Structure 1
């Protein structure tokens, strides 16, 4: 086995194989000689809704560097010259998924690189024998590891004392969303978690470096910035600043027209308690989503103590109550672990009561799984049947909530950044981060719009686009139109009803994700939007035409009120094509009929 640092020793003339070139130079180095296919595939199927913000950001940075060096990123495992699996795990099922991928790759005789929390926190796993490894703080050197692995070397790169740069090349899975890591590691020592093992002690990026990154991504056209961290609330404690200082600096960089929104990442209760009012003020800002993920894990103080969570249920309640009171339309997500060692029926009942009290619209419910090397793995376990029963019971209770009731007919401002999995709808979010599905052309991606909520579902609501906001907030306010309250920086346009979007939870390493990256010779620009499927595309186009007709009617009505003139019956291209086709068919039928009649007539005579 070789360490990459050993590969640097005694190199001949020129740059040795593992030499790390500056990014500006690296982009063009030997590009025409590159290279191979690398497959970029998520073993948990949906990269964009992954629960681990840190892992998503790492994946995008690695993809960017590989792409900048001329590698082709592919989801086709068979055509790949190398597989790269990015992992983040605190749970056994997720590590099992990784093990399956590794076995599949080895059986296919493909070169393999494994990155992320699993190899960093459990480098002695037998499954990792013969596999190259990139540590969580070494993602800026992924190209070196890939190239050495393709040469047949086994490389392990795990130790680092400085944070990777924020300005590395990056391929965003969603070009409108920037996942911005503000710190790595954590200050906690939860007895069930391996985050500390994998990502180490807290390491925060400076305020200036993060402000600079925000300026850059806004100039790139990003419309949502997700702050990513194992624990956002702990930010800055290692460098003498705190989260409110950072957030105020970042908010000052956001466009005043509300075209780019900030989403604050997961924060544990201990580190937000002392800044509650300041955080509430920031969450009330019109360019910040009124949404926060605050994991509680259990409703029992006894279990929280066994977990070493460093807060009480009362303190969690204080966080939730204060934010709901001070932030209009505030929405909070949380996590629950069922069946932690020592959990009694009484402990579980306290958790049930907590969830019933708040009826939070987003609750991620998981079963306890012991992680090797953690204190909880040595504790006396609750029967697996009991754990499953409690998980099912709590899930049933949570799914009985109807948080969207009463939203029908409401007017909301949303930010549209994605295509729904059905291939027909676009996905937007309200100020409170309620997921709204609308019909419209893909050109609406990256825009903000005013919608009317037409119907509700369990996990999202549906709306009709009334107006696409293309003008500056100030000019809209000066116009004094009926939507100005949604744009006024001193007012919040959002529903006071509860929201839900359980599939959009973003937590720390408490969840798991494994990805495979593939590399290929052909040049490709990753991150471009492609229609999900032909059927969805056709459905969306046809529905879009109907929507455009409705929108034109609204515009005509508005223009008439203002004394302007418009063409009242403008047809869209598809309608014209259909009409021409119908007329052509009709004339063809008549011609055939006349021909047959003429032939029969002459035969009769």
Structure 2
């Protein structure tokens, strides 16, 4: 991989799915740039399009297909590469989509650039053969072109890149899509399942970086397809993470987000005794990155002693801890490895030890055999814990999972009614959480200008529209001080007070 393309070859990456997929796409972009390719927005013309797909729901599958078709329509002769979870789960179906040249599952991402190189070289050889044949006016020209001009390397061999078996999984396009009933505008923390008009790649390229430190999952939650497409749990070494964070800090990034499919199961690959807490302590000690944010953690992994690390102001006061249900009976059916009491203890202690901490969560309503009593237990626990943000999902069966085969499926009207009660509770709690900070001064990391207003995030998950910023400069990637004045939508309107003093 030492050679650069002989001419400026452009590429574009777009991403569907979780923060781990976003981290993978950032790595792909970095490697492509280092190899001499020139990056473009996904909405622009490019020589190579890379679509990093999602399959956590049927919506992810369908959205992935739409992005693939979008790239093919924009430039039919471009090299179209499909990777990610949908490519891992169902590579043969992906390879049959119009325009697709290469299909690489998650384990094939490491070889992605090399595969692109090989394909481009083969296509160049084909072009040379066709040119020579044309010049010589050979009678077999048409036959030669048809024989050598077909797409090469459509799918990596399944035994080298495919974890599951798509042959045993069928998909019904008419099934209802599981998705939050209250999607958020806080994109850095939201799984991106819908198709955007603009590309998602590198939106926060010098503001925050998704740092994948763990991949895969050994759990088998009965509603989840992710372990099938991500494989077993494995982690990076602490030394390699520290080195990468140091480089990102020198490059001007303001925040890293530690991500993983099962982040709480992080154990350094060179020492299983070193867990997530040891990693965070090393980052605080050995790097100068201004902000460290931790993405979703499973309650069964959470160690209360980790909370002491959040006494350092560089740690963002935000935890995403999926509750899913407040009923122990339903948690057992989901194969979740914690109880409602354990979950309550974690949230209570986090709020006690970290003033102003934001706790966000996921809740599934209408899981098979969920009774009225089960739901009331969920509602009462959510009411008690007052989450800053709740992502409310109505259960929808994902074929290939155990929950899809369970008896006692809940009627849609019951799911909808239960969901509505949780949504109303969320609206109340979200407002109360943001309201407590009005009149205070907060550090806001500016990320983008939207509808004529600069906006960004506080460390504790509050979106702030900052008024009064001088117009003579761009403010993205800058940390400013703002007075929080008024509630707006799912955020707060603030007024610029000045730059954050240097440490």
Q: TM-score, normalised by structure 2?
A: 0.77
- The residue aligned with 1:382 is 410
- The residue aligned with 1:139 is 109
Pair 1:226 & 2:253 matched: no
Give the distance between the partners of 1:156 and 1:240, measured in 2 at CA: 38
- The structure whose RCO (Cα within 8 Å, separation 6+) is larger is 1
8 A Cα contact 1:92 1:369, kept in partner: no
1:268, CA displacement in angstroms?
0.3
- The residue aligned with 1:481 is none
SS of aligned partner of 2:277 = helix
- The residue aligned with 2:20 is 54
Pair 1:31 & 2:23 matched: no
- The residue aligned with 1:424 is 453
Give the distance between the partners of 1:407 and 1:172, measured in 2 at CA: 27
- The residue aligned with 2:462 is 434
Summarize the Cα distance change of 1:127–1:138 in structure 2 as closer, same or farther, 3 Å threshold.
closer
SS of aligned partner of 1:304 = helix
Tell me the alpha carbon deviations over residues 83-113 of structure 1, each in whole angstroms, 9 at most, x when there is no partner: 3211122111221222333455567745432
Alignment of structure 1 residues 151-550 onto 2, 5 Å: 151=123, 152-157=151-156, 159=160, 173-236=204-267, 239-255=272-288, 260-272=290-302, 275-276=303-304, 278-380=305-407, 381-401=409-429, 402-403=431-432, 404-412=434-442, 414-429=443-458, 431-439=459-467, 440-441=469-470, 442-472=473-503
Tell me the alpha carbon deviations over residues 139-189 of structure 1, each in whole angstroms, 9 at most, x when there is no partner: 23222333445533134347379xxxxxxxx96742121211111012311
Give the distance between the partners of 1:346 and 1:217, measured in 2 at CA: 49
8 A Cα contact 1:282 1:288, kept in partner: yes
8 A Cα contact 2:365 2:394, kept in partner: yes
- The residue aligned with 2:198 is none
1:300, CA displacement in angstroms?
1.3
Give the distance between the partners of 2:368 and 2:440, measured in 1 at CA: 45
1:362, CA displacement in angstroms?
1.0
Unaligned runs of 5+ in 1: 1-20, 45-50, 162-169, 473-605
Tell me the alpha carbon deviations over residues 218-264 of structure 1, each in whole angstroms, 9 at most, x when there is no partner: 11111101101112211107633211111111111343xxx711001
- The residue aligned with 1:88 is 54
Give the distance between the partners of 2:18 and 2:361, measured in 1 at CA: 14
Give the distance between the partners of 2:216 and 2:440, measured in 1 at CA: 41
8 A Cα contact 2:446 2:480, kept in partner: no
Alignment length (residue pairs): 421
Pair 1:65 & 2:96 matched: no
SS of aligned partner of 1:31 = coil
Summarize the Cα distance change of 1:123–1:389 in structure 2 as closer, same or farther, 3 Å threshold.
farther
Give the distance between the partners of 2:204 and 2:318, measured in 1 at CA: 22
- The residue aligned with 1:129 is 96
- The residue aligned with 2:64 is 98
Summarize the Cα distance change of 1:106–1:342 in structure 2 as closer, same or farther, 3 Å threshold.
farther
Summarize the Cα distance change of 1:33–1:81 in structure 2 as closer, same or farther, 3 Å threshold.
closer
1:326, CA displacement in angstroms?
1.5
Summarize the Cα distance change of 1:407–1:172 in structure 2 as closer, same or farther, 3 Å threshold.
closer
RMSD over aligned Cα atoms: 2.6
SS of aligned partner of 1:252 = helix
8 A Cα contact 1:284 1:328, kept in partner: no
Give the distance between the partners of 2:72 and 2:204, measured in 1 at CA: 27
Tell me the alpha carbon deviations over residues 260-313 of structure 1, each in whole angstroms, 9 at most, x when there is no partner: 1100121101111xx20x211112211101111100111111111111011111
The 4+ residue runs of structure 1 with deviation greater than 6 A are none
Unaligned runs of 5+ in 2: 124-150, 163-200
Of structures 1 and 2, the larger Rg is shown by 1
Give the distance between the partners of 2:71 and 2:340, measured in 1 at CA: 45
- The residue aligned with 2:81 is 113
